[in-house]
């Protein structure tokens, strides 16, 4: 079993197929469901729309469960939490190697940032596991649907905390409004 696992990790054909799937995600939108869980608090559920245009542009509109907007415009990360009436602005470069940012917003240099292997889960089928090189503070798994698009992503920390995303209603040729990835001016 261990030998099979290591062979799949090193198989160039498997990596080529994985990277081809991820390369299709240059511009897309999809519905998402998110569950954030921990041993320390009740799970938090949210739903919304994710829109991405590479390189580096993201918009996540949370519509149920949480009420926030996340925008990356290529240089700045912006989050507005409507429930807390709070906004955050940070340099996007500080987040480039976060799992979903590296995979979805940039889609390049993945092997330089992550060690990747393929595992077979009895319940969920084929999963790709990504572990950051030189770190052990999290890992994430990625499962694809029959069309080769991400079906779910689970980011897990060793302490039992994690976030699970499930994606549906993919559109690989969306029409974005001109201000989709525009960050609002700071409020006075």
pTM for the whole thing?
A: 0.89
Q: Is 30 helix (H, G, I), strand (E, B) or coil?
A: strand
CATH, range 2-171: 2.50.20.10
The sign of the torsion formed by the CA atoms of 72, 77, 78, 79 equals positive
pLDDT tens-digit profile of 85-99? 999 999 999 888 777
pLDDT tens-digit profile of 107-119? 877 888 888 888 8
């Amino acid at each position: 079993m261990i030998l099979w696992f290591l062979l799949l990790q090193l198989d160039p054909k498997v990596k080529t197929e994985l990277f081809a799937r991820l390369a299709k995600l240059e511009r897309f939108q999809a519905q998402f469901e998110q569950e954030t869980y921990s041993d320390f608090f009740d799970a938090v559920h949210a739903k919304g729309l994710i829109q991405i245009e590479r390189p580096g542009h993201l918009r996540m509109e949370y519509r149920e469960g949480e009420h926030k907007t996340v925008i990356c415009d290529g240089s700045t990360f912006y989050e507005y939490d409507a429930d807390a009436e709070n906004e955050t602005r940070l340099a996007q470069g500080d987040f480039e190697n976060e799992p979903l940012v590296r995979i979805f917003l940039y889609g390049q240099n993945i092997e330089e940032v992550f060690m990747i292997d393929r595992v077979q889960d009895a319940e969920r089928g084929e999963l790709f596991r990504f572990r950051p090189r030189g770190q052990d503070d999290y890992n994430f798994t990625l499962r694809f649907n029959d069309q080769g698009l991400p079906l779910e992503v689970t980011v897990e920390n060793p302490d039992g905390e994690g976030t699970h995303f499930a994606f549906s209603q993919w559109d690989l040729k969306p029409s974005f409004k001109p201000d989709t990835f525009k960050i609002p001016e700071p409020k006075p």
